Structure 1
Amino acid sequence: MLAIVLNALLRVDRNVNKVQIVILLPNMELLDQIEEYFEKLTPEDITYTKINSCSICIDNLGQIIFSSPGLFFNAANMIPALRDVSVLIIDECDEVITNKIYHEDLIKYVGQIKNAQFLLYSATFVDVVNNFINKFSPNIARIILPQNNNIKHFYIDCRNIDDTIPVIAQLFPFISQSQTFIFFNTRRYIQAVQQLLEYMNIACEWCSPDRTKDDRREVVKKFRNQQFKVLLTTNLLARGIDIPSCNVVINFDMPRMERFEPDYDSYLHRSGRCGRFGKEGKVFNIVKYNDDMHMLCYLYQNYSIEFTPITPDEISKFIKLVF
């Protein structure tokens, strides 16, 4: 996200006092994060506005606007200034472009800013996104960063479901020295794991879409400030969140889509929550089903991700060697 902020600041014409750059982000957590970057890095002669409600002061719009897509498109329908921009930046563009709720609004808006430059960011580009690019910006320059090799991947075979909670108990005496994300597909096991961690005197919190916005904002803020060690969450926080002190990700559930289909993109995004800014990261995958193993094989064959196996009986001995 730092790259997005710097890119936006460098493209502002300081002599032109109007909206020039629009940045779209898929959720509140990323909006809060990018606002923190702008607060720290923006020079006094550049202005920015965060759209976080339906009520906007038209006379006080900054040169840079950042917003969630839904709120922004509502505003753009009412405010002509938002349809006369030079740069459109979309973070986590695959999630934004494939969202059916505002896909038509996005297409309409892009048609209104034909002379604008597009900057699209994501760790994954699905076919829908590539089709969007070919339609609206066929000559776009693609910059593909090399794969992050400072993250190591492990898996623990827990196809006996009863082993899953004890495995967490074995992992944490060794890795609780680092901040850790634990990802779940649903809230089903979050409470049980939270109770276990609290019993082990490990400070933790949980964050999922069914918490209030204020609660979610407070949890992420505390985690970023290292006020607790472990954040239990869903794919809500799989994308784009920068926690420099996080070195460990645990997939309690291998990522799945609604019909239990494997979600390879979410695996890559979850993994990217650790090992930020060149630090070494570790991803531990708890394998419960045969389909989970098939998912690891696919990731190895298609993304060259190597997975080191750990048996539940060897966890304590193995973790001592790698930490």
Structure 2
Amino acid sequence: MLSQVEPANRYPQCLCLSPTYELALQTGKVIEQMGKFYPELKLAYAVRGNKLERGQKISEHIVIGTPGTVLDWCAKLKFIDPKRIKVFVLDEADVMIATQGHQDQSIRIQRMLPRNCQMLLFSATFEDSVWKFAQKVVPDPNIIKLKREEETLDTIKQYYVLCNNRDEKFQALCNLYGAITIAQAMIFCHTRKTASWLAAELSKEGHQVALLSGEMMVEQRAAVIERFREGKEKVLVTTNVCARGIDVEQVSVVINFDLPVDKDGNPDNETYLHRIGRTGRFGKRGLAVNMVDSKHSMNILNRIQEHFNKKIERLDTDDLDEIEKIAN
């Protein structure tokens, strides 16, 4: 996007859509960092809460936002002239395509763009349905692929812990914490209810805990992530809202308190990859620990192992020596 902007033209030339408010802000920060050597470059955020006067036109060169707000800015409020857009980016394209509302809005925006507009779709994972859609949007694409085995991130050591119930999972978590030095950890739960319970229990144990879930206001979510990024809280307990794209360099451990499953109860391999990919970033070593509390969840774990063709070792969290070994 930066290479395509003509700074002398004071109108939006590049549009970047993200599935969430947090990701839009994060991408914007990266553009601001890279763009600081390009002082005339201006950036606008088309996100909920960014109110502009009706009838005004935007003079910023790059607009980053979520699909609903960008669509409003293009169609209803006419802040952006879509016919002048040169580059259209879908970030986390698979989510944008799989989520019905995002898909409809993204298509409506795309249809307003000029024919020669460059389309860029980014994602760590592309399912077949996403490919089909991508080929509709980008008829003659250049495809740049990483090998599947590179996706599974060889820098991450993966383990599982056998437990019988939620309380044992919590105990195992405390044992892990007692035995190894953790810079920062992200803990993923399946439901908001479990996430709230776990955050409360960890707080009682004296941990500094941040809680992030989908029903929070976007501004609250951004504030929680900012505090976690600054290290004010060492543990972030979250539902899947945070599995994607949130980069916090100090995350050394990811714990799946609940294994990721789709709405039919099958293993959600893509989410697993995105979740554990929050650690081991930037070439560092990472640690992923999966809590298994039933035959069903053991079956899910086995299917995840098969999918990635990568063995997940068993860990006994009652054995402190064993835990210390994995941390080195």
TM-score by length of 2: 0.89
Aligned to 2:281: 276
Looking at structure 1, the residues matched to 160 and 89 of structure 2 have their Cα atoms a distance apart, in angstroms, of 36
Looking at structure 2, the residues matched to 19 and 134 of structure 1 have their Cα atoms a distance apart, in angstroms, of 26
Q: Deviations over 1:37-62 (max 9, x none)?
A: 23333221111111124743533331
* Secondary structure of the corresponding residue to residue 192 of structure 2: coil
* Secondary structure of the corresponding residue to residue 188 of structure 1: helix
Aligned to 2:41: 46
Aligned to 1:101: 101
User: Is it true that 1:13 corresponds to 2:18 in the alignment?
Assistant: no
Identity fraction in percent: 29
Written as runs of structure 1 = structure 2, the 5 A alignment for 1:1-323 is 8-42=1-35, 43-53=38-48, 55-56=51-52, 58-78=56-76, 79=78, 81-113=81-113, 114-145=115-146, 146-147=150-151, 148-175=153-180, 177-314=182-319, 316-323=320-327
Looking at structure 1, the residues matched to 166 and 210 of structure 2 have their Cα atoms a distance apart, in angstroms, of 24
Are 2:182 and 2:252, in contact at CA under 8 Å, matched by a contact in 1? no
Are 1:176 and 1:230, in contact at CA under 8 Å, matched by a contact in 2? no
Q: Deviations over 1:7-34 (max 9, x none)?
A: x222323343321110000111112212
Looking at structure 1, the residues matched to 285 and 126 of structure 2 have their Cα atoms a distance apart, in angstroms, of 25
Looking at structure 2, the residues matched to 174 and 218 of structure 1 have their Cα atoms a distance apart, in angstroms, of 30
Q: Which AA in structure 2 matches 1:63?
A: H
Aligned to 1:4: none
Are 2:176 and 2:317, in contact at CA under 8 Å, matched by a contact in 1? no
Looking at structure 2, the residues matched to 219 and 108 of structure 1 have their Cα atoms a distance apart, in angstroms, of 32
Report how far residue 194 of structure 1 moved: 2.2
Are 2:82 and 2:112, in contact at CA under 8 Å, matched by a contact in 1? no
Segment drifting more, 289-298 vs 201-210: 289-298
Are 1:190 and 1:206, in contact at CA under 8 Å, matched by a contact in 2? yes
Looking at structure 2, the residues matched to 60 and 133 of structure 1 have their Cα atoms a distance apart, in angstroms, of 29
Looking at structure 1, the residues matched to 195 and 277 of structure 2 have their Cα atoms a distance apart, in angstroms, of 21
* Secondary structure of the corresponding residue to residue 225 of structure 2: helix
Q: Which AA in structure 1 matches 2:161?
A: I
Q: Which AA in structure 1 matches 2:42?
A: T
Looking at structure 1, the residues matched to 180 and 83 of structure 2 have their Cα atoms a distance apart, in angstroms, of 49
Segment drifting more, 42-51 vs 76-85: 76-85
Looking at structure 2, the residues matched to 97 and 220 of structure 1 have their Cα atoms a distance apart, in angstroms, of 25
* Structure 2 alignment gaps of length 5 or more: none
Report how far residue 295 of structure 1 moved: 2.5
* Secondary structure of the corresponding residue to residue 40 of structure 2: coil
Q: Which AA in structure 1 matches 2:301?
A: L
Report how far residue 176 of structure 1 moved: 5.2
Q: Deviations over 1:41-99 (max 9, x none)?
A: 32211111111247435333311110001111122213261343111111111111121
* Structure 1 alignment gaps of length 5 or more: 1-7
Q: What is the aligned-residue RMSD (CA, Å)? A: 2.0
Looking at structure 1, the residues matched to 247 and 107 of structure 2 have their Cα atoms a distance apart, in angstroms, of 29
Q: Deviations over 1:209-229 (max 9, x none)?
A: 122333212111100001110
Are 2:164 and 2:293, in contact at CA under 8 Å, matched by a contact in 1? yes
Are 1:169 and 1:196, in contact at CA under 8 Å, matched by a contact in 2? no
Q: Deviations over 1:224-271 (max 9, x none)?
A: 001110000010110000101111100000012233332111111101
Are 2:316 and 2:322, in contact at CA under 8 Å, matched by a contact in 1? no
**Moved segments of 4+, more than 6 Å:** none
Looking at structure 1, the residues matched to 254 and 11 of structure 2 have their Cα atoms a distance apart, in angstroms, of 42
Are 1:69 and 1:102, in contact at CA under 8 Å, matched by a contact in 2? yes
